A and B are shown apart, each in its own frame.
Chain A
Amino acid sequence: QKEVEQDPGPLSVPEGAIVSLNCTYSNSAFQYFMWYRQYSRKGPELLMYTYSSGNKEDGRFTAQVDKSSKYISLFIRDSQPSDSATYLCAMKDSGAGSYQLTFGKGTKLSVIP
């Protein structure tokens, strides 16, 4: 079993739809949770960053972390064609060692005009 599981999709939605992306994980030591957006042939771009459990909202994006279920989500409201990309979840434990992120495989999202 991989440490982080993410459905690779692809996921196709009409413009304006609410998109729900999620990851599950097995390592209970993970404390920091991130979502990255990656356009084709580009580096990942940080979208959301949360520490421990709870919700965080930034514009059309909402990140949720449920540590009891080892489950994180990213919601995109009023989705736009420009949101078409691969979305990667990433996690890190709270150890004092190296800043090592563990990623999911990524979910490929297409928003159709």
Chain B
Amino acid sequence: ETGVTQSPTHLIKTRGQQVTLRCSSQSGHNTVSWYQQALGQGPQFIFQYYREEENGRGNFPPRFSGLQFPNYSSELNVNALELDDSALYLCASRPGGPGETQYFGPGTRLLVL
């Protein structure tokens, strides 16, 4: 177990709705990233938060937004859901330092109907 937890585990929404996914980072980790993993694909980087500020973003539209809280937990919000947003959403945390790698949570599986 990595110590990274995510909630909920599964979620079903309809097109046009909004969704919030939550992540609790591993203790001592001040950086959190979110990834989208479509079926049969590798994870794709959405964005990263460091000390409550977004400091990197992948090729995702603004309807994907996030927050990081002082206790380093995090949220991913997706507005105006589309069918293609159906995927496993992964949260990953890491401590500071240039060489440290990321540790992933179990993911939230989102289905958009």
Given the known inter-chain contacts A97-B55, A99-B48, please indicate yes or no for A44 contacting B101, CB distance below 8 A: no
**Does chain B have a CB within 8 A of A66?**
no
Instruction: Identify which of A42, A44, A103 gathers the most chain B CB atoms within 10 Å of its CB.
Output: A44
CA of A51 to CA of B104, assembled, Å: 20
Report yes or no: A101 in contact with B102, Cβ–Cβ below 8 A. Answer: yes
Docked pose: A82 CA to B2 CA in angstroms: 19
- Please tell me if A74 contacts chain B, counting CB pairs below 8 Å: no
Q: Knowing A6-B42, A44-B90, A105-B42, say if A100 contacts B56 (CB, 8 Å).
A: yes
Is there an interface contact between B90 and A103, defined as CB atoms closer than 8 Å? no
Looking at chain B's contact residues, the main secondary structure is strand
**Chain B contacts for A8, CB-based, 8 A:** 40
Cα distance A98–B40 when bound, in Å? 25
A4 vs B43: C-alpha distance in the bound complex, in angstroms?
12
Residues of chain B with a CB closer than 8 A to A32's CB: 99, 101
- Nearest Cβ on chain A to B20's Cβ, whole angstroms: 19
Give A99 to B35 CA distance when docked, in angstroms: 12
Contacts of B35 in A (CB 8 A): 101
Interface residues of A in 2-30 (CB under 8 A from B): 4, 6, 8
A88 at the interface (CB under 8 A from B): yes
Q: Which residues of A contact B103 (CB under 8 A)?
A: 46
List, in ascending order, chain A residues with CB within 8 A of B48's CB: 98-100
Which A residues are CB-close (under 8 A) to B58? 100
22 A-B residue pairs with CB within 8 Å: A4-B42, A8-B40, A34-B101, A41-B88, A42-B107, A44-B104, A45-B2, A46-B102, A51-B99, A88-B42, A90-B42, A96-B98, A98-B33, A98-B50, A98-B57, A99-B31, A99-B56, A100-B33, A101-B43, A101-B102, A103-B42, A105-B40
Q: Which residues of B contact A (CB under 8 A)?
A: 2, 4, 31, 33, 35, 40-45, 47-48, 50, 55-58, 88, 90, 94, 98-99, 101-107, 109
